[in-house]
């Protein structure tokens, strides 16, 4: 679960696309997991947003995804030069030994650069990354 230092405010949380897929498909436990994080602390990483838009079956579904995510997240966190550099380092270190994929590297890099927690159902891919704080969803 979430880890934070005593006396410091809780950090924002970015959500991996796997959690959001469960949420968008109507899984009640995913909706509850999302609601556990106050709205202003919920951030949507650009890479997760792009993955979800890519998976839309048609224009209607694309608009529904966009509307739902914009309603449930206080901010979309864009990719940056710092995030890209961090993702390069993560891929170099973790792609071969741990099977880290590009989208996962960008997600982890976003969390590391901003000091955010990463909410995911895919703990196995992220566990080897030092300094990454995870909030694990178990479907």
Domains of the chain and any CATH numbers = 13-136 (3.40.50.1010)
Q: What is the mean pLDDT of residues 64-73?
A: 95
Asked whether the predicted pLDDT for residue 6 surpasses 70, the reply is: no
d(CA 37, CA 16): 14
Q: Percent of the chain having pLDDT more than 70?
A: 94
Q: What is the mean pLDDT of residues 50-68?
A: 95
Q: Which two tokens stand for residue 75?
A: 């901010």
pLDDT at position 73: 97
pLDDT at position 3: 45
Please give the span between the terminal C-alpha atoms of the chain, in angstroms, as a whole number: 14
Asked whether the predicted pLDDT for residue 101 surpasses 80, the reply is: yes
pLDDT band at 7 (very low <50, low <70, confident <90, very high): low
Give the chain's mean pLDDT: 93
Helix, strand, coil tally for the chain in percent (to 5): 55, 10, 30
Asked whether the predicted pLDDT for residue 1 surpasses 70, the reply is: no
Q: Each residue of 5-18: b (16+ CB within 10 Å) or e?
A: eeeeeebbbbbbbb
Answer for the pair 116, 9: CB distance below 8 angstroms, yes or no: no
Rounded to two decimals, what is the model's pTM? 0.90
pLDDT at position 9: 78
CA angle 103, 123, 43 (to 5 degrees): 55
Asked whether the predicted pLDDT for residue 8 surpasses 90, the reply is: no
């Amino acid at each position: 679960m979430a880890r934070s230092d005593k006396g410091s405010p809780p950090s924002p949380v970015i959500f991996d696309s796997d959690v959001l897929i469960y949420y968008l498909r109507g899984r009640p436990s995913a909706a509850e997991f999302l609601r556990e994080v106050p709205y202003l602390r919920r951030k949507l990483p650009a890479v997760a947003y792009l993955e979800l838009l890519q998976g839309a079956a048609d224009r209607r579904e694309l608009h529904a995804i966009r509307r739902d995510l914009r309603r449930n997240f206080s901010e979309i966190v864009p990719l940056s030069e710092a995030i890209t550099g961090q993702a390069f380092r993560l891929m170099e270190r973790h792609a071969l030994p741990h099977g880290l994929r590009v989208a996962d590297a960008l997600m982890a890099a976003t969390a590391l650069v901003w000091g955010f927690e990463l909410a995911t159902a895919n703990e196995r891919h992220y566990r080897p990354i030092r300094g990454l704080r995870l909030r694990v969803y178990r479907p």
